């Protein structure tokens, strides 16, 4: 998507847990991430399973407080 000749990047944030990602990943990736050319951010407390499609494909994630992750992501994607 473009606005005033600037490409606008979409960010999809998962807040909470990535339960059932093994069931939902293919559709989530196809219909949201790829169709919107979006980045994925995980705003969760900690990594419990590192063999998780969402962790492997998230542009933003980490083992820090949810508030700090969210704040940094929003600053990076702010539209001027």
Q: 48-61 pLDDT, tens per residue? A: 666 788 888 888 77
Q: What is the pLDDT of residues 56-79, one digit of tens each?
A: 888 877 655 566 666 777 777 765
Q: Is residue 5 over pLDDT 60? A: yes
Rounded CA-CA distance 75/78 in Å is 5
Number of domains in the chain: 1
Q: What is this structure's pTM?
A: 0.66
Could you tell me the residue range of the domain that residue 15 belongs to?
2-76
**Per-residue pLDDT, 80:** 47
User: Cα 19 vs. chain centroid, distance in angstroms?
Assistant: 15
pLDDT higher at 44 or 20: 20
Looking at the chain, the whole-number percentage of residues with pLDDT higher than 70 is: 72
Task: Tell me if 10 sits within 8 A of 1, measured CB to CB.
Answer: yes
CB 42 within 8 A of CB 58: yes
């Amino acid at each position: 998507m473009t606005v005033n000749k600037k490409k606008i990047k979409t960010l999809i944030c998962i807040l909470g847990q990535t339960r059932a990602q093994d069931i939902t990943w293919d559709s989530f990736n196809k219909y949201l991430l790829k169709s919107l050319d979006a980045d994925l951010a995980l705003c969760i407390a900690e990594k419990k399973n590192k063999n998780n499609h969402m962790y492997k494909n998230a542009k933003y994630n980490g083992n820090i407080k949810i508030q700090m992750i969210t704040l940094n992501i929003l600053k990076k994607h702010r539209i001027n």
